[in-house]
Structure 1
Amino acid sequence: MWIYNFGLFLYACIVRLAALRHRKAKLWVEGRRDLFRRLAEAVGPGERIVWVHVASLGEFEQGRPIIERLRREHPEYKILVTFFSPSGYEIRKNYPGADYIFYLPIDTPKNARRFLDIVRPEIAVFVKYEFWLNLLGGLRRRGVRTYIVSAIFRPDSIFFRPYGGLWRQALESFDVMFVQNEESKRLLAGLGFDNVVVAGDTRFDRVAEIAAAARKVPLVERFRGEGRLFVAGSTWGPDEELLVRLMNDWPDVRFVVAPHEMDEGRIRRLMNATQGGAVRYTRCTEETDFTHCRLLVLDTVGLLSSVYGYASWSYIGGGFGVGIHNTLEAATFGLPVAFGPNYRKFKEARDLVTLGAACSVTDYAQLAQWFGPLCRDGELLRRTSRIAKDYTLRQQGASDVIVRTIFGSK
């Protein structure tokens, strides 16, 4: 355990040094300043707290259907949400569905005791991947009902390594582990755990809610006009190199590209490389003429999920880096999906590829080979779209299973 604690100490020191130059690290440090005082001032002494912890924005979206269902069905509880990463906290710090939103303190033994002494959670819910050993140990010793949701385990995870004893012990803190698939249940059974429920992935519930609440985006509707639209979400440089070639080879199709990060240099290169004209969403007005425009760069946040509703095809970025981003927001609208080669850690992406609703590409030739038939053959496009939509519909319901199990075990 001392190695774990020393590692956290080193990590905190490195982040503090990085904060001198890097904005994200600075937010990480500043967001935890006076944290315990602010927590103590916010959380009342007699409140019944459900604590939901998420690492970042993606995990928050997985936890959100559970949070909002708790809010509707169990108003007797106050909901505390904690984030580890600034990229989640800074975007959702004003989320109205929770009563309290804070950063998670670094998981030292002292911090874990102080946090639990102040918050006194009645129920703790961890989303997907977060295993903080001191906090989990504290919850176990205090008898707090503790759950992990939308979890997924793989044979190469630390829990199944000879040196993973501490992490296996941490799993004993959970009253129930809600996992995404049967493989996870089988792996955990091999460690002797039978408190495992295959509930699925709550993201399917979330994207269904997003699709149902999709906003009208008049500017995008006007940009598309009477033609067809290709939407690429969360793209990085290598993705955009392929997309530029696709745009230039298919002049009858209009494209929306939403970069993952609003890097001005990359946006300029993307627009300059596009034949036929390009505009930025934030610089458009009601009078903007899109007649001679092929590309709309979505240089804003919060609209992408609604913009998918105007598209016929989609591309999801990140597959030439550490891993693809959210494919489900596109698939729930019935869009065929393409992405780069690094997708195998994502069950939904593997499923979509197996079903024929998605395609992984390693170069432009493969992207063009995927897109061409879907663009020319209307029946193929309709059939592929139906497969994507039906898949997302079949996977819904995890939030219902989780909430019923948690509150049925009181």
Structure 2
Amino acid sequence: MIHALYRALSIAGGPLIDVFLKRRMLKGKEDPARAGERRGLASLARPDGPLVWLHAASVGESLSLLPLIERLLDGGRLRVLVTTGTVTSARLMAERLPAGAVHQFVPVDRPAWVRRFLDHWRPGLVLWAESDFWPNLLAEIGKRHVPLILVQGRMSARSFAGWSRAPGFIARVLADFTLCLGQTPADVERLVQLGAQDARCLGNLKLAVPPLPCEPAELAALKEQIGDRPVWLASSTHPGEEAVAARVHRTLAERLPGLLTIIVPRHPERGPEVLGEVKALGLQVSLRSAGEAPDRAILVADTMGELGLFYRLAPVVFMGKSLTVEGGQNPFEPARLGAAVLFGPRMSNFPDMAPAMLAADAACQVADQDQLAEAVGRLLADPAVARAMGARALAWAEAEAGALDQVMGALAPFIAAVEGSDARP
């Protein structure tokens, strides 16, 4: 009933959807040059041969799929289409996708636009990341009898509670999936309770991602500019956490002469706002997007795609969205580069990873600003301790990086089937 109502509203609501997309465009959340893609109008020709379509909602999900994409392309027979829904992720995919893979914006979930998209691309296999469920899109894939597999399946306790209020609707959505591969046993259990028919836990692909890249020349230049100053990084911060990092700097500056605090806001467009907050606390600050050198107390790194650079610069990394905002950002990324990792108490997005890192002594949890200052000060005052903690983080990360092989094993029969066919006319 709800599924049918949703479909009817998505058909009748065309004019409202157009208004919604125009407003997003005015806010910079849509790409005007590629607006047709959101209506199912492809801006690229379909490559010849069998094609696998992977969908990811945004930056984090799309990054987690990169190792899987590279494996799919290894044999040279498959072509890969990647869709995402945000301008930021589109820019990142333009930089990171390997040859043989192309990017499009996912069409808005209107039946006519969905059919137009599928008629053009004609995938032989669809891999869907995490929990970005679009009922019309998934139903249309099912109607065409294309295998649809959930990878990196994620179902938080909060999402589970929400979906449980519409059991028939979510069961209908999950029925379109041939196979569901959850990130954790808890994700699998919740998916099964909501109606997934075949659900398994084979590990988290985010743990199979290679270290974030960086430009060696830029890294060398920044190291020369920073010299022997003690450095720590507050990564992927959210509102409130930048001020915390600045106050931690003020607390530590006297006993750590020359201290450099690097703040990377999760949303780069907040750079000027963060700059103002830090200046209001009486601290000298540089802005990375303005081309300013890291020659002041704090560097606000409001740029895209440079976390790999800063994780290599800073031996101590605090992960944001864990003190003032609920959820947490991915602590695996700095661990993969051997940083000493700190995070706050609000890590609900990583209910298995965070406890596993703590149990392996590969990370340290801090409750508030005072504990963060104590931990950063202790690690920077004794580089040997910071190096040892970073080494434990790296060892843990490397030990957890085998999920890709297991996922590829589960996908093998589906891949073989699509390799043995070509695009249907």
Normalising to structure 2: TM-score of the pair? 0.82
Paired residue for 2:189? Answer: 186
How many Å separate the matches in 2 of 1:395 and 1:105? 35
The 8 Å contact of residues 105 and 111 in structure 1, kept in 2 or not, is answered as: yes
Q: Identity percentage over the alignment?
A: 22
Matched, 1:169 2:177: no
Q: 2:409 aligns with which of 396, 404, 408?
A: 404
The 8 Å contact of residues 82 and 102 in structure 1, kept in 2 or not, is answered as: yes
Q: 2:277 aligns with which of 265, 269, 294?
A: 269
Q: 2:150 aligns with which of 148, 151, 157?
A: 148
Matched, 1:332 2:336: yes
Paired residue for 2:135? Answer: 133
Q: Where in structure 1 are there 5+ consecutive unaligned residues? A: none
The 8 Å contact of residues 175 and 195 in structure 2, kept in 1 or not, is answered as: no
Counterpart AA for 1:336: A
The 8 Å contact of residues 54 and 126 in structure 2, kept in 1 or not, is answered as: yes
CA drift of 1:53 comes to 0.7
1:351-370 correspondence runs (5 A): 351-370=356-375
CA drift of 1:89 comes to 1.9
How many Å separate the matches in 1 of 2:145 and 2:274? 51
Counterpart AA for 1:279: S
Paired residue for 2:286? Answer: 279
Matched, 1:223 2:230: no
Paired residue for 2:421? Answer: none
Q: 1:346 aligns with which of 343, 350, 373?
A: 350
Paired residue for 2:389? Answer: 384
How many Å separate the matches in 2 of 1:125 and 1:167? 18
1:74-153 correspondence runs (5 A): 75-93=76-94, 95-97=96-98, 98-153=100-155
Q: Where in structure 2 are there 5+ consecutive unaligned residues? A: 418-425
CA drift of 1:51 comes to 0.6
Paired residue for 1:2? Answer: 4
RMSD (CA atoms): 3.1
Q: Deviations over 1:64-110 (max 9, x none)?
A: 1111121223x212211111222312443465425431111111222
Structure 1 residue matching 2:223: 3-state secondary structure? helix
The 8 Å contact of residues 159 and 165 in structure 1, kept in 2 or not, is answered as: no
How many Å separate the matches in 2 of 1:218 and 1:272? 32
Counterpart AA for 1:146: L
Counterpart AA for 1:153: M
Structure 2 residue matching 1:31: 3-state secondary structure? helix
Aligned residues: 399
How many Å separate the matches in 1 of 2:161 and 2:109? 19
Paired residue for 2:65? Answer: 63
Counterpart AA for 2:278: L
1:200-211 correspondence runs (5 A): 200-206=203-209, 208-210=210-212
Q: Which moved more, 1:381-390 or 1:118-127?
A: 381-390
Structure 1 residue matching 2:82: 3-state secondary structure? strand
How many Å separate the matches in 1 of 2:126 and 2:169? 20
Q: 2:308 aligns with which of 297, 300, 305?
A: 305
CA drift of 1:202 comes to 1.2
How many Å separate the matches in 2 of 1:185 and 1:178? 7
Q: Cα distance 1:232–1:223, how it changes in 2: closer, same or farther (>3 A)?
A: farther
Q: Cα distance 1:231–1:37, how it changes in 2: closer, same or farther (>3 A)?
A: closer
Q: Which moved more, 1:229-238 or 1:116-125?
A: 229-238
How many Å separate the matches in 1 of 2:294 and 2:179? 56
How many Å separate the matches in 2 of 1:186 and 1:32? 38
Normalising to structure 1: TM-score of the pair? 0.85
Paired residue for 1:197? Answer: 200
How many Å separate the matches in 2 of 1:259 and 1:354? 28
CA drift of 1:154 comes to 3.7
How many Å separate the matches in 2 of 1:161 and 1:309? 43
